[in-house]
Structures are given as structure tokens and as C-alpha cells.
Amino acid sequence: MNKNDKKISLGENVSIVEPCNLYGCEIGNNVKIGPFVEIQADSIVGENTTISSHSFICSGVKIGSGTFIGHGVMFINDKFDSDSIKNWKMMETVVGDRVRIGSNATILPVNIGDDSIIGAGAVVTKDVPSRHVAYGNPAKCYPLS
């Protein structure tokens, strides 16, 4: 496990399969992290969450409890626009509790509500309300029945 100078906060009963890169993040109790995962500084992973292999959790991502992150999920902490190169600033992503995110989804800086599902391969560019499913590119949201 690669660590930088910033303190990493690990809860109890955390399972990390190496190789894995953690940088100044906060990991809750009973979290499972697969191999080839990177979790950057100023990110929070809630308790009872699973992050599958090859996923990237960038700075500013806050993941709730009981959430499942599939393989190869990429979080992005900025939105490209004409001003972003000169005035770049980190944008926050908030993932609620009990969210399921399918493999190879790309999540831009958005809010994803509790009990939602993100389909495999989705590109999420807008907020997803609680109890909704989002899929496609760009992802469209539909209420869960």
C-alpha cells in the first residue's frame, strides 16, 4: 500500500487487497477495497462499503455507507469548461448511502442520492435523486419502482 505524507484514517476491520494507493483519505469500518484502487486525499469512504478493483476515487469524493462501487469506476473532480485551465478548482462529489455503481461508470462532480443505482458504463453528468436508476451516456435518471 502506497502512502503519502497526509494521514490516512482507517476504521476497524478494513480489508485492502494490494497493490493499492491511499493518500490522506478517511476509510470507515468494515470497508473492502480491491486491488489497483486509488483513493486520493480529502476523500471519505463510509462504513460497510465495497470498492472493486481498478477504481479511482479522486480528491473531494464522499461516499456514504453500505455502498457498492463496481470494477473500474472513475470519479472526476472537475468539469471541463473554457475557464477551467486558468481557474481550476476541485469540485465535490457526494454519493449517498446504499448506492450501487456498476462497472466502468464515470462519475463527474454530482450528488447521488440514497438507494440509487448507476448502470454499468454510465457517464453521470447531473445529480441523481434518491431512489433513482441512472444509465447511458450521458446518463438519464428514472425513478425506482
For the segment 79-121, what is each residue's pLDDT rounded down to a tens digit? 766 565 666 778 899 999 999 999 999 999 999 999 999 999 9
Of the pLDDT bands very low, low, confident and very high (cuts 50, 70, 90), residue 2 is low
The pair phi, psi for residue 9, each rounded to 5°, is -105, 115
Is the overall model pTM greater than 0.85, yes or no?
yes
Q: Mean pLDDT of all residues in the chain?
A: 92
Peptide bond into 109 cis (omega under 30): no
Q: How far is the C-alpha of 62 from the C-alpha of 41, rounded, in Å?
A: 11
Gyration radius of the chain's alpha carbons: 15
Question: How is residue 114 written as a grid cell?
Answer: 440514497
pLDDT at 43 over 80: yes
- State what percent of residues in the chain have pLDDT above 70: 90
Mean pLDDT calculated for residue range 120-136: 98
Strands 20-22 and 44-45: unpaired
In the predicted model, what is the mean pLDDT of residues 34-50? 97
Instruction: Please count the structural domains in the chain.
Output: 1
Compute CA distances 85 → 78, 110, 142, whole Å.
10, 20, 34
- Whether the predicted pLDDT of 138 surpasses 70: yes
User: Which residue range forms the structural domain that includes residue 117?
Assistant: 2-143
Single-letter amino acid code for the residue at 38: E
Please state whether beta strands 139-143 and 100-101 pair in parallel, antiparallel, or not at all (unpaired). Answer: unpaired
Q: Which residues are bridge partners to 128 per DSSP?
A: 112
CA distance 65 to 16: 17
Q: Domain holding 125: CATH number? A: 2.160.10.10
